[in-house]
Amino acid sequence: MKRIAKRQFFLLGCASLAAMLLSLYDRYGIVLTSSSRSFLAEQSQLQEQVLRENQKKGGNRSTGQSGKESKTMAENKAGAETETAEKDERMASDANPDIRVLLCSDNYASEYHDRITITADVPFRVSGQGTERHCQAGEQVELTMQSNEFLQGDLVFTMEEDGVFQLPYLKRAAECPSYEGSLHVEKREEGLILINTLPLETYLCYVVPSEMPSSYPIEALKAQAVCARCYAMLQMENSRCEEFGADLDDSVSYQVYNNIGKTDAAVQAVQQTAGMVIKEDGQIENTLYYSTSCGLRMEEEASNEAVFCAAMSGSRASDAECEESWYRWNTLFSTEELNAAAETFYPGQIGQILSLNVLKRLENGRAEVLQVTGTLGTVAIEGEYAIRQFLRPGDQAVILQDGSRAPSLGLLPSAFCYITPQYQGGVLSGFLLNGGGYGHGDGMSQNGAKHLAEEGWSCQEILKYYYGDGVEIICDT
């Protein structure tokens, strides 16, 4: 009997994958951002679905609450409305509103810290409920779950003049990362929460170099700045990180902040696009971005398998990234490796793999449904991220078009690939995957933006190329 299984891969909190990707950043640049946007989009959609289901369940409950329960619900509703109003006021009253960033622990492993060490290059003060402590420049304040300072409640760190806070204990690509703005430390049962509050435009100066190499042309960096601004503003509106009292965090779960300190080029890109956003039908665009495309454009129809395979069988000089190593790649899976993956993700459902077939592609050619047939049954894997995880390379190499071997990956580079069975002596021995690009393929290709900028394209031209002529690029100041 044919069985169709739909499996979602919930990896938003998967610290090991995030840490692995971050460890590759210095050598491979923006590859870490490629996969993050995919699961971010899918996770957001799943959260919205869960919220709708919870609301529906809430609406079906008996309305026979006690007076106390009704009062509590009314108070909660009023509180939520007040919070929403305050947020709207914060966004509307200031062209450069403050953004609240949850700073994750070492290598982005957790939202909670066991200990926190804070210092600054200028005098600063630590404020609690009814208390205030003045500290000299360079003085360190060390906090743990047992610190007496928390007897006075949450702690707020502010500088007495322009300068930066430093967190010498925190492991990031940049040694002893520095933070502008203020810091808020809260003690919870699970650990310490650390939030950095600073102006949005200042925040962007630390996002751009963490998401795109500062050596890229200024027009590409400006395009990245606009995308990062739109993305941040949407998070400020959506409140996905509100449980921590923040708008977003500093990891690949949102967009990477201050993994690499701000650079002159990044500051220039942010300043030259100050307040600039992309809108469609009056709404800020969800400006997803990723590392490298396979060259297929939005206007090309590549959902047909034969058309897609023909397009991917070679390179085209007109493709912006045709010289990038990730533009084309291949990897070979043995049947033993795929059988192990099948048993890991679908125990007892597939058995020994007999065939892999792409059942559905999007218009841009990205695989959306992969049919896996085995001796025990058939499974349909839905969603590009789920496909990329099932087909994640293990010990086998991913060979890039320049002949180099890709670093060890937690995901298949992209779902822009086609699959060819391999035989030895007439017996199925494995499957060869020929693919292109790195990342989910939605929105702006960062390496594509780089090459277009090198050809003389402006920031606005790059953005319209990737997000469509129907969008408006306006200055919202």
Output the pLDDT for position 18: 37
* 125 SS3 class: strand
User: CB within 8 A of 431, min separation 6: which ones?
Assistant: 332, 333, 335, 338, 356, 419, 420, 421, 422
Q: What is the mean pLDDT of the chain?
A: 83
CA 213 distance to own-chain centroid: 17
Output the pLDDT for position 175: 86
Residue 81 confidence (pLDDT) above 70: no
Q: pLDDT by residue (tens digit) across 231-261?
A: 999 999 988 899 999 999 999 889 999 999 9
Q: Rounded to an integer, what distance in angstroms lies between the CA atom of residue 29 and that of residue 251?
A: 15
Residue 46 confidence (pLDDT) above 50: no
| Token code pair at residue 279 | 């809108």
Q: What is the mean pLDDT of residues 81-90?
A: 52
Q: pLDDT by residue (tens digit) across 389-440?
A: 999 998 789 999 999 999 888 899 999 999 999 999 999 999 999 999 999 9
User: CB within 8 A of 187, min separation 6: which ones?
Assistant: 145, 150, 154, 193
| Token code pair at residue 75 | 């108070």
Q: pLDDT by residue (tens digit) across 267-284?
A: 999 999 999 999 999 999
Q: Rounded to an integer, what distance in angstroms lies between the CA atom of residue 262 and that of residue 203?
A: 9
Q: Which of 210, 190, 181 is nearest to 97 (CA)?
A: 181
Highest mean pLDDT of the ranges 22-36, 53-67, 129-143: 129-143
Which one is predicted more confidently, 150 or 2?
A: 150
Q: Please give the C-alpha separations between residue 34 and each of 145, 199, 255, 266, 459, in angstroms, as whole numbers.
A: 36, 26, 11, 20, 20
Strand-pair category, 178-179 with 353-361: unpaired
109 secondary structure, DSSP code: -
Q: How far does the chain reach from its first CA to its final CA, in angstroms?
A: 60
Output the pLDDT for position 410: 85
Q: Which of 395, 439, 398 is nearest to 415 (CA)?
A: 439
Q: Rounded to an integer, what distance in angstroms lies between the CA atom of residue 189 and that of residue 434?
A: 49
Q: Rounded to an integer, what distance in angstroms lies between the CA atom of residue 119 and that of residue 104?
A: 18
Output the pLDDT for position 299: 62
- Put the strands of the sheet holding 353-361 in their side by side order: 353-361, 367-374, 378-382
Question: At 60, is the pLDDT very low, low, confident or very high (cuts 50, 70, 90)?
Answer: very low
Q: Please give the C-alpha separations between residue 310 and each of 53, 294, 295, 414, 418, in angstroms, as whole numbers.
A: 43, 13, 13, 18, 10
| Token code pair at residue 240 | 């996905």
User: H or E segment at 378?
Assistant: strand 378-382
* 195 SS3 class: strand
Identity of residue 170: L
* 428 SS3 class: strand
Output the pLDDT for position 5: 39
- Put the strands of the sheet holding 178-179 in their side by side order: 141-144, 115-120, 165-166, 178-179
Q: What is the mean pLDDT of residues 17-22?
A: 37
Q: What is the mean pLDDT of residues 348-375?
A: 96
Which one is predicted more confidently, 341 or 60?
A: 341
| Token code pair at residue 204 | 């962007």
pTM (2 d.p.) = 0.78
Question: At 55, is the pLDDT very low, low, confident or very high (cuts 50, 70, 90)?
Answer: very low
* 77 SS3 class: helix
